[in-house]
Structure 1
Amino acid sequence: MPRLSLSSRLALLFAACTAVVSLFAGVLFSRASEAHFIELDQQLLEGQLIGLRRALHDLQSSDSEVRLNDEMSRQAELSLRISGSDGKRWYDSSANLPSMLPQTAGLSTINSAGTDYRVLNAPLFPEKADSPQLTLLLDITHHQHFLQRMQRLIWLTVGLSALATALLGAWAARSGLRPLRRISAVAKGVSAQSLNARLPEENMPPEVAEMARHFNAMLGRLDDSFQRLSAFSADIAHELRTPLSNLLTHTQVTLTRPRPIEDYREALHSNLEELQWMAQLVNDMLYLAKADHGLLAPKRETLDLAEEVDVLLEFFAPLAEDARVTLGREGSARIEGDRGMLRRALSNLLDNALRFTPADGEIWIRIDDRTEGLRLTVANSGEGISGELLPRLFDRFYRADPARHEGSSEHAGLGLAITQSIVRAHGGQIGCESGDGWTRFVIELPRGD
C-alpha cells in the first residue's frame, strides 16, 4: 500500500478531531434535551396529580365522575387509570390505554403500539396503606420524534463537519507545506555548480523559517567547503607546477651533453632541494587534511609554557642575531597540551615574525595566565598589515607579502594555516592584530586542568 502523504494525514486528523468533538457535543446536547423533557413531564404529571387528588378526595360523592371527566378533558395528551389496592382496574379515561402498566411508584417511560408514554404511579391517599392507585399517562410521542430528528441532525452535522474539515484541512496543510515543497525543489537542484542557491526566509512561517535558516546555513557551509577545496586543489597545482618545471628543465639541460662528475653532483643537489621542499609541502597538506577531518589528536601532558618558549627562543637566537632582532619573553603558565604540536605552532609564528621584522626591531612573546584561560601573544615591531588582509592571513597558500613570487621553495604559505589547525585541535583560537607599529598574533587556550 502506498503511504499517505503528510497533507492527507493532517486532513484525516482534522476530520477525525472535528467528528469526535461534534459527536461528543451532540450527545451531550441530546442527553441534556432528554433530561429537560423528562423534568418538564414530571412537573406536569405531578401538577395534574395534585389536581386529581383534590377532585377525587371523596370517591363516594355523586359528582366524582363528572369532576374527574372534567379534569381529564383539560389535557388531551393525558390519560388516567385508577386501580384498587388489590390491583383491580376501577377507571380508564381512554379505551386505548395499554393493558399492562408499571406498578412501581414513581416516573417511568413505556412504549405501546407505537406510542411513547411517560407514566407516573402514585397513591390517591398517601396517608393510607390501602389507598387506591393513580396511574397518569402522558403521550410523549412528539418529544421522542423531536429527539430522533435531533439525533439524525447530529449525525448529519458530524458527517458534514468532518467532510468540510477534511477539505479545509487538506487545503490548509497543502498551503502550509508549500515551503517544504520549495525546500525540496531547491534541494533537488543543488549541485556542485549551484551551491549558491538559498531559500527566502522572510515569507515563511516561524517553524519552517528555522529549518530554512539551517538549510541555508548548510548550503553556505557546503559552498564554502567546495570553494575552499577547489581553491586548495588549484593552489596545490599552482605551487607544484614551478618546482616540477624547474626539475624537468634542470634535468633536461644537464642531460643535453656529457658533463664532468661535479656538474652532475651539483645538479643532483639542486634537484634534492626542490624535492625536499615538495616533500615538505605534501606533508603539510596531509597535515592540514587530517586537521580538516578532525584527526589531529593532541597528546595531553603538563607543559611549562615559559620553558617551551625559552627553548624556541634559544633555537632562533642565531637567526635573530644575524637579522639584528631582539627576542624576549614575559610571563609564565602551565598548560595541558601536545609538546610537539605547540612547538611547531610557535615556531611558525616566530619564523613569520623574523621574516617581517626590520633590523633593530623586536619580537616579544607574552604569556598571560588568566582565570578564564591562557593568552599567548607573539608580537613583532615593523610595518603593519592592512585591515583587509587580516581575515585572510590564515588561508592556505596565502602570502601577505606581494613581493613573494609563485613557486618559492622557501615558504609555501601554509605555516599560519597549520598553526591555526594546531590551536583549534587544543580547543583554542588564534587571531591577528596590527597597529601602532606592532603586529600581534594572539592565541587563547583553555587551561585544561
Structure 2
Amino acid sequence: MRDVLLTFVMALGGSLAVAVAGLLVLRGPLRGRSVTAHIVVLLLVTVLSVLAGILGASMEMFISDHDLHVLLIVVGTAATVSLATGLWAGRRLARASMWAAEAREQEREAEARRRELVAWVSHDLRTPLAGLRAMAEALDDGVVSDPETVADYHRRISTETDRMAALVDDLFELSRINAGALRLSLSAVPLGDVVSDAIASAGPLASAAHIKIVAEPSGGGGGWPTVRGSVPELSRIVNNLLLNAIRYTPPDGTVTVTGGQDAAGGWLAVSDTCGGIAEADLPRVFDVAFRGAPARTPSKEAGGGLGLAIVRGLVEAHHGDVAVDNVNGGCRFMVRLPLGGASA
C-alpha cells in the first residue's frame, strides 16, 4: 500500500509540475497565438505528465530497466502520433476559424451595403414622390389651370414616373444578381451589333446634352470581337456605361466606344471627357449607390447609383471583369469578356 501511495504522489507531483509549466507557457509566450500552438502545448503537457510519472516510478525502483525502455518507446511513439494529429487538427481548426471570421466579415459588409442601399433608395423614392404628390394635389385642387402649366405638370409627372420605374427595374436586376438568380442564355454575340444598338438608344439623350458619341473598333484587334454572352445582359452593360458617360460628360464633350480582342479575350472600352475621377473614389465606383458627388438629391439626369454596380454584376456573371482608370481629360471603363467566335 505504501508503494502504491508513493507512486501516486510522485506521479501527481510530476504531472502538476508539468501542467503548471504548460499553463505558464500558454498564458505567457503563447498568449494570443494560434489554435495549433495551444493544441500542441496541451498534448505535450499530457505526454510529459505520463513521462514524469514513469521516470518517478523508475527512480524508486518500481520499474525494471527493461520495462522502462519498453514504456519509453511506447510513450515516445504515442507522443509522435499525438503531436502529428494535433498539428493536423490544429491547422484544420485554424483554417475553419479563419473562414468563419471571413464569412462574418463578409456578412457584416453585406449588411452594411444593404443598409446603405435602403437609405439611398428611400431618399431617391421619397424626393420624387413628394414632388408628384404636390403636383397631383395642385392639379386636383385647380391651383393650376392654364393649359401650358397643366401640360408642364403632366410632363414632369411622366418624367418622374419613368425615373422611378427605372430605379425599381435597377433594384430588381441587382437583387437577381446578388441572389444568384440570374440565368444567362449564352451564345456567340457580335459585340459590334450590341454597341450599335446601344448608341442608337442613347443617341437622343446625347444629342440633347450636346455630346458626341464615337464608336471605333481597335485597329490592331481585328475589329469588333464576337464574345460569348447573353444579348439582353450585354446590351444592358453597354447601355449603362454609355448613360453613365453621357451623364458626367459636359456639353460639347465626346464619349468614345472602342473594342477589340487580344490574348486575354474580347474587350470593350467606354471613354468620356468628364475630367476624371478622384483617385480616392476609383475603388468605390462600382459600389452600390455610389455617385461620387456629395449631394444626394438627384437631378433629372441623375441615376439611382446602381448602374455601375449592375455592370459589374453582369460582367462577372459572364466570367469577365470590369475596371476603371483615368485618362487624359476623363475616365475609361474597360470590360473584358470571353471570346465566342471569330471577330466581326
Q: Distance in 2 between matches of 1:218 and 1:441?
A: 30
Aligned to 2:260: 368
- Secondary structure of residue in 1 paired with 2:331: strand
Q: Distance in 2 between matches of 1:318 and 1:298?
A: 29
Q: Does 1:293 align with 2:176?
A: no
Q: Does 1:271 align with 2:157?
A: yes
Aligned to 1:351: 243
Q: What residue ranges of structure 1 are gaps of 5+ in the alignment?
A: 1-6, 23-148, 181-204
Question: What's the CA shift for 1:283?
Answer: 1.8
Aligned to 2:10: none
Matches within 5 A, 1:14-33: none
Alpha-carbon spacing, 1:150–1:259, altered in 2? closer, same or farther (3 Å):
closer
Q: Distance in 2 between matches of 1:327 and 1:412?
A: 26
Partners of 2:199 and 2:213 within 8 A in 1: no
Aligned to 1:325: 212
Considering fraction of residues, name the structure with more helix.
2
Aligned to 2:297: 406
Partners of 1:326 and 1:360 within 8 A in 2: no
Alpha-carbon spacing, 1:320–1:371, altered in 2? closer, same or farther (3 Å):
same
Matches within 5 A, 1:54-133: none
Q: Distance in 1 between matches of 2:259 and 2:244?
A: 19
Q: Does 1:228 align with 2:113?
A: yes
Aligned to 2:166: 280
Aligned to 1:380: 272
Alpha-carbon spacing, 1:212–1:345, altered in 2? closer, same or farther (3 Å):
same
Q: Does 1:312 align with 2:198?
A: yes
Partners of 2:237 and 2:314 within 8 A in 1: yes
The one of 207, 211, 214 equivalent to 2:99 is 214
Partners of 1:427 and 1:445 within 8 A in 2: yes
- Secondary structure of residue in 2 paired with 1:308: helix
Q: Distance in 2 between matches of 1:286 and 1:312?
A: 21
Aligned to 1:246: 131
Which moves more between the two structures, 350-359 or 377-386?
350-359
What is the TM-score with the length of structure 2 in the denominator? 0.66
Question: What's the CA shift for 1:442?
Answer: 0.4
Aligned to 1:430: 322
Q: Distance in 1 between matches of 2:164 and 2:308?
A: 18
Q: Distance in 1 between matches of 2:159 and 2:254?
A: 31
- Secondary structure of residue in 1 paired with 2:272: strand
Partners of 2:121 and 2:304 within 8 A in 1: no
Q: Does 1:391 align with 2:283?
A: yes
Question: What's the CA shift for 1:213?
Answer: 2.5
Question: What's the CA shift for 1:415?
Answer: 1.3
Question: What's the CA shift for 1:325?
Answer: 2.1
Larger Cα-atom Rg:
1
Task: Give deviations 1:152-188, integer Å, cap 9, x for gaps.
Answer: x849x86xx88x999x99xx99xx79xx9xxxxxxxx
Q: Distance in 1 between matches of 2:129 and 2:211?
A: 36
- Secondary structure of residue in 2 paired with 1:220: helix
What is the TM-score with the length of structure 1 in the denominator? 0.52
Partners of 1:376 and 1:444 within 8 A in 2: yes
Q: Distance in 2 between matches of 1:409 and 1:361?
A: 19
Of structures 1 and 2, the one scoring higher in RCO (CA 8 A, sep 6+) is 2
**Letter matched to residue 341 of structure 1:** E
- Secondary structure of residue in 2 paired with 1:381: coil
Q: Distance in 1 between matches of 2:144 and 2:248?
A: 41
Question: What's the CA shift for 1:358?
Answer: 3.2
Q: Distance in 2 between matches of 1:257 and 1:319?
A: 33
Q: What residue ranges of structure 2 are gaps of 5+ in the alignment?
A: 1-38, 55-62, 218-222
Considering fraction of residues, name the structure with more strand.
1
Aligned to 1:419: 311
Task: Give deviations 1:385-415, integer Å, cap 9, x for gaps.
Answer: 111111111122221244x651445422221
Question: What's the CA shift for 1:216?
Answer: 2.2
Q: Distance in 1 between matches of 2:203 and 2:300?
A: 23
Alpha-carbon spacing, 1:334–1:356, altered in 2? closer, same or farther (3 Å):
same
Aligned to 1:37: none
Say what the alpha-carbon RMSD is for the aligned residues. 3.9
Which moves more between the two structures, 355-364 or 240-249?
355-364
Question: What's the CA shift for 1:326?
Answer: 4.6
Q: Distance in 2 between matches of 1:271 and 1:366?
A: 37
